[in-house]
Amino acid sequence: MWNGLDKLLELQRLDQAIARLEAEGRAIPQEIQALEARLTEARAGLDQAKAKADQIQKERRAKERELDEATINTKKKQARLFEIKTNEEYSAVLKEIESLKEKSSKLEEEILNLLERGDVAAKTVTDAEKGFKAAEALHQNERTEKEGQLARLRQELAILQEARKGQASRLDTDLLRQYTRLRKSRGVAVVAVKDGSCGGCGISLTPQTYTEVRRNDRMFTCSSCNRILYFAG
């Protein structure tokens, strides 16, 4: 094996492990955000249910006040009947009482209907409250778990980065520079040859080159993508 290959492969292994952890680390805050969004949705559902129940209650109270007024008016007009002298006025007031009674019975019906709708709305609020509480508990658990995950990941990452630093210092400066350049431009710098081809870009090697790369006794780079080639056995 050519000098530096095993160190280079170990460095690449560490870099890949670091990249994986960093990607995971980037995903976790997004996952936490998704949890927040779910909770916000549950809260919005609860608020909406409460607003609807309030609205129905308001409407019912307004109708109840209207009904009270109509009842008082009816009583007043009934009392007036005894003081009326003319037939015309008497029948006019009777008509007004009749119309007030009609109004009252219509209001009573509407109030009953609003009471029923209010019951349904109250049940929806209870259900939404349960839903919200469940979402909140789940959110708390999952959030704690994700935050724990993130903390563990950062620890692991720190250990890997330390190891990476040590490993990089073991490499020959020129080789490290070449690796760093390739890693930047190609993502993966060192690739195994597979079935006579570069494992990075897929180009076929000449049989001569392939035979030589297989020996792993000196460094070869791909003529097409410049990646460092080796034979994995």
**Residues at the contact surface with Zn ion, assessed by CB under 5 A:** 198, 200-201, 222, 224-225
167 versus 178: smaller Cβ distance to Zn ion: 178
48 versus 224: smaller Cβ distance to Zn ion: 224
Measured from the CB of residue 149, what is the shortest distance to Zn ion in angstroms? 37
Measured from the CB of residue 172, what is the shortest distance to Zn ion in angstroms? 22
Measured from the CB of residue 213, what is the shortest distance to Zn ion in angstroms? 11
78 versus 224: smaller Cβ distance to Zn ion: 224
121 versus 222: smaller Cβ distance to Zn ion: 222
Measured from the CB of residue 183, what is the shortest distance to Zn ion in angstroms? 14
Helix/strand/coil (H, E, C) string of the chain? CCCCHHHHHHHHHHHHHHHHHHHHHHHHHHHHHHHHHHHHHHHHHHHHHHHHHHHHHHHHHHHHHHHHHHHHHHHHHHHHHHHCCCHHHHHHHHHHHHHHHHHHHHHHHHHHHHHHHHHHHHHHHHHHHHHHHHHHHHHHHHHHHHHHHHHHHHHHHHHHHHHHHHHHHHCCHHHHHHHHHHHHHHCCCEEEEECCEECCCCCECCHHHHHHHHHCCCCEECCCCCCEEECCC
